[in-house]
Every structure is written in structure tokens, then in C-alpha cells.
């Protein structure tokens, strides 16, 4: 089969190659990939700025059908429509796993990063990570459930966003747009998103389509002033930080209200970021660092999409054959896309 592989450590070093089809172990299933979504981390792996274990087939956001089943697998059949969590390798016995957060296990080696992923016709993996994909959700929408589950884990479960609250999303990339959609589905009273002049095209338009009450172009206006104006001097209840920008991170302390929460999902790509620490103390701000997705968030994501409460399809701006993976990377790097789907 053809597969897109990161074949060594360093910048670039990604190409499409002919590889053998994967073999399954007794507790695994073989998945025929129907759609795979390109993630920002795939670009980071391409540029050598994210952990990975080469050689590895890329792709961790995907949907498919079961093509074969190991002899110890129960409850699943060939032909079942599925999506899968990505926490392959989590040990199940360490403190983190046993306390209910296997997605944060140090031993985790996710699909497309530590073990072969879904930029290919087939991928093999453990049956216990599967979730059923209802007939009412397309395979394309199924491929964006992983990042949606990450945002649900962060925003609804960890930072506990409530109906009627006010929200600012910093950064209109794919994770920012998904965060906005989740805030809308949670019933917030006000939600805005910040970005730059380069986001005025596709991304701000997409934000408006998803129901943003306002957008702030930080190249043209002061986001702190605007947010204080919009909230009568109070600040927002929750600020969802997806930009990873140093100035944006610094400004969260002025834009969130006293006793408000910051839900940090975006990585900065830096060793250190300066913050107004004492300001955080005096305002008693809660700063939630978030990572990966919980089992429950996958079930919530599937439920919300199936009920039509979370418009997953709207996040998708492009659909290309797997052979055009480079074009997909360029679209994302040039901020011309929200989610790009590849079809193997």
C-alpha cells in the first residue's frame, strides 16, 4: 500500500512510499482508513519541532471501517464504522493511567507519531481504543473528532465552561475554530476570537460562519481594550488560548475577569514564556494547562455531532486525495484552510 512516511530525524524527510500492509495482533483490529485529517502537529513533525519516533506513517485524526479482527477482540465486527482514540502505548498501570488519565501516560506512543498512523489505506491498532461512528456522521466529519475531543476535554471537562458564560478564543487556527464551535454548542452568551491581518481571509470568515459574535484583528486593534469594552470592564469568564503567541499569552491576564479561567490548548514552541505572575495571583486566575483527550470527551463529541449540535462538517474546507498531502500542508501553512481531509 502507499503511505506517507516520516522516515528520519530532522527537517522535512517525509515522502510517499510503498510499504507492506500492517499485520494485526490478537487484541487489535485492522482499520481501512476512509478519511484522515491533517493536524498542525503533522506540520510540526515535518519541520522537526514536535516529538516523533521515525520511521513512522503520519496521521492520527481519522475514521474508517473494520477490515479484520484479532482473535481476542470481542464486541466488534468486520464492516463496523469506527473512529479511534490515539493513545496507543499507554501502560494502564502507572499513577497517571490508574487515576483515570491514560491519555497523559508517559509511555503513550500515539498513532502517526510513535506508531504507524493513517496516511495510508490500512492501519492496525488496539480494539479497546475504538468508538462507534454512527451512520449519521460522515467519514470526513469522523476524521475531525480527535481534535474536537481534545477541545472538549480541555474546555468542558477541565476548564468547566458553563452555559451563559462569556468566552474569548485567542487564535483562529483549526483548534481555535473548533473551540469556538464548542463554546457555541455549550450555550455561551458571548464568544469572540482574535487573530491577525493574515486571518482576515479564510479563518475569520469561518469564525463568523461558526457563530462568532465578534473578531479582533490584533494588528489593527488592542484586544485588551476591546474585550474590556465588550464586557463592561469585567473581562471574560474563560479565555481559550490556542495561539501560542507570547504577547497573546501575556495579555490573557488582562482579558480574563477576576477568578476567571484560562484554558491553554496551544503550544508556544518555546522553552519559556514570560507572564505577569503577580497579576495572576491578585486576580486569582485559574490557569488550566490542557493536553490530549479523554474517553468521555470522544463520546460527547460523537453525541454532539450526531445530534447536529456541533457542525463538524463546517470545519472542513478542503478534501484531497492522499497523494496530494504536500498541497494539504501548504494550504495549512499559508492559512488558506481550516481542516483539510485526505482520502487514501
Binding string, residues 231-260; x marks residues near Zn ion by CB under 5 A: ------------------------------
Choices 90-98, 185-193, 260-268, 306-314; region in contact with Zn ion by CB under 5 A: 90-98
Backbone angles phi, psi at 29, to 5 degrees: -120, 155
Binding string, residues 278-307; x marks residues near Zn ion by CB under 5 A: ------------------------------
| Long-range contacts formed by 269-274: CB under 8 A, 24+ apart | 269/44, 269/49, 269/244, 270/246, 273/246, 273/249, 274/246, 274/250
**Contact (CB, 8 A) for 39 and 175:** no
Choices 86-94, 222-230, 257-265, 270-278; region in contact with Zn ion by CB under 5 A: 86-94
The Cα-based distances of 293 to 81, 173, 227 in angstroms read 20, 18, 29
Exactly one of 5, 14, 36, 39 binds Zn ion (CB under 5 A); that residue is 39
* Nearest Cα to Cα of residue 50 among 251, 325, 317, 244: 244
C-alpha cell read off for 258: 477576576
CB of residue 315 vs Zn ion: minimum separation in angstroms?
A: 13
CB of residue 153 vs Zn ion: minimum separation in angstroms?
A: 13
Strands 166-170 and 236-241: parallel
94 scored as a contact of Zn ion (CB under 5 A): yes
Q: Which is nearer to Zn ion, 97 or 145 (CB)?
A: 97
Exactly one of 33, 97, 181, 285 binds Zn ion (CB under 5 A); that residue is 97
Quote the Cα angle for 80-134-102, to 5°: 80
CB of residue 73 vs Zn ion: minimum separation in angstroms?
A: 22
Exactly one of 38, 56, 105, 191 binds Zn ion (CB under 5 A); that residue is 105
273 scored as a contact of Zn ion (CB under 5 A): no
CA–CA dist 83, 9 (Å, integer): 29
188 scored as a contact of Zn ion (CB under 5 A): no
The binding site for Zn ion (CB under 5 A) comprises 39, 91, 94, 97, 105
Amino acid at each position: 500500500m502507499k503511505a506517507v512516511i516520516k522516515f528520519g530525524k530532522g527537517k522535512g524527510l517525509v515522502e510517499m512510499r510503498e510499504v507492506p500492509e500492517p499485520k494485526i495482533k490478537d487484541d487489535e483490529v485492522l482499520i481501512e482508513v476512509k478519511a484522515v485529517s491533517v493536524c498542525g502537529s503533522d506540520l510540526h513533525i515535518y519541520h522537526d519541532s514536535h516529538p516523533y519516533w521515525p520511521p513512522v506513517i503520519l496521521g492520527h485524526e481519522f475514521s474508517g471501517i473494520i477490515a479484520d479482527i484479532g482473535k481476542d477482540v470481542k464486541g466488534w465486527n468486520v464492516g463496523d464504522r469506527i473512529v479511534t482514540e490515539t493513545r496507543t502505548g499507554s501502560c494502564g498501570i502507572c499513577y497517571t493511567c490508574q487515576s483515570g488519565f491514560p491519555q497523559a501516560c508517559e509511555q503513550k506512543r500515539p498513532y502517526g507519531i510513535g506508531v504507524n498512523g493513517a496516511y495510508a489505506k490500512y492501519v492496525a491498532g488496539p480494539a479497546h481504543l475504538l468508538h462507534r461512528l454512527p451512520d449519521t456522521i460522515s467519514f470526513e466529519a469522523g476524521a475531525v473528532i480527535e481534535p474536537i475531543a481534545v477541545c472538549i476535554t480541555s474546555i468542558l471537562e477541565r476548564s468547566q465552561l458553563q452555559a451563559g458564560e462569556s468566552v474569548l478564543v485567542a487564535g483562529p487556527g483549526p483548534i481555535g475554530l473548533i473551540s469556538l464551535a464548542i463554546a457555541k454548542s455549550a450555550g455561551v452568551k458571548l464568544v469572540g476570537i482574535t487573530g491577525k491581518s493574515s486571518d482576515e481571509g479564510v479563518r475569520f470568515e469561518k469564525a463568523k460562519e461558526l457563530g462568532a459574535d465578534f473578531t479582533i484583528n490584533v494588528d489593527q486593534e488592542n484586544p485588551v481594550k476591546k474585550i474590556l469594552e465588550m464586557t463592561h470592564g469585567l473581562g471574560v469568564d474563560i479565555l481559550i488560548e490556542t495561539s501560542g503567541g507570547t504577547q497573546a499569552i501575556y495579555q490573557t491576564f488582562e482579558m480574563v475577569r477576576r477568578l476567571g479561567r484560562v484554558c491553554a490548548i496551544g503550544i508556544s514552541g518555546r522553552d519559556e514564556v514570560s507572564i505577569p505572575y503577580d497579576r495572576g495571583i491578585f486576580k486569582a486566575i485559574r490557569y488550566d494547562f490542557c493536553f490530549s483527550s479523554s474517553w468521555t470527551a470522544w463520546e460527547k463529541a460523537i453525541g454532539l455531532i450526531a445530534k447536529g449540535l456541533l457542525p463538524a462538517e463546517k470545519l472542513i474546507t478542503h478534501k484531497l486525495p492522499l497523494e496530494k498531502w504536500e498541497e494539504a500542508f501548504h494550504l495549512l501553512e499559508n492559512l488558506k484552510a481550516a481542516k483539510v481531509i485526505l482520502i487514501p
